[in-house]
Amino acid sequence: MSIAVTTQIVCFSVLSLVIIIGALGVILLESIVYSAFLLGGVFLSVAGLYLLLNASFVAAAQVLVYVGAVNVLIIFAIMLVNKKEDLKPIDNLKSRRVISTSICLTLLSLLIRVDLSKIWGLASPDTSIGEESTIRIGEHLFSDYLLPFEVASVLLLMAMIGAIVLARRDV
Is the pLDDT at 49 greater than 70? The verdict is yes
Q: What is the spatial distance between Cα 155 and Cα 114, in angstroms, rounded to a whole number?
A: 38
What's the domain range around 1? 1-82
Say if 142 falls within a structural domain.
no
pLDDT digits 0-9 by tens, 8-31: 999 999 999 999 999 999 888 888
CATH of the domain at 56: 1.20.120.1200
Is the pLDDT at 167 greater than 80? The verdict is no
Is the pLDDT at 36 greater than 60? The verdict is yes
Say if 40 falls within a structural domain.
yes
Packing angle of the helix pair 72-80, 32-52 (nearest 10 deg): 170
Say if 22 falls within a structural domain.
yes
Least confident of 41-55, 95-109, 110-124: 110-124
Say if 23 falls within a structural domain.
yes
Higher pLDDT, residue 42 or 137: 42
Say if 130 falls within a structural domain.
no
Please give the C-alpha separations between residue 79 and each of 36, 63, 73, 169, in angstroms, as whole numbers: 11, 22, 10, 18
Domain count, the chain: 1
Q: Ramachandran region of residue 49, left (φ > 0), alpha (ψ -120 to 50) or beta?
A: alpha
Alpha helix stretches (DSSP H) within the chain: 3-28, 32-52, 56-61, 72-80, 93-117, 131-141, 146-169
Q: Which DSSP category does 140 fall into?
A: H
Q: What is the pLDDT of residue 34?
A: 87
Say if 15 falls within a structural domain.
yes
What contacts 106, CB < 8 A, 6 or more positions away? none
Say if 52 falls within a structural domain.
yes
pTM: 0.62
Q: Which of 76-85, 86-95, 151-160 has the highest mean pLDDT?
A: 151-160
Say if 14 falls within a structural domain.
yes
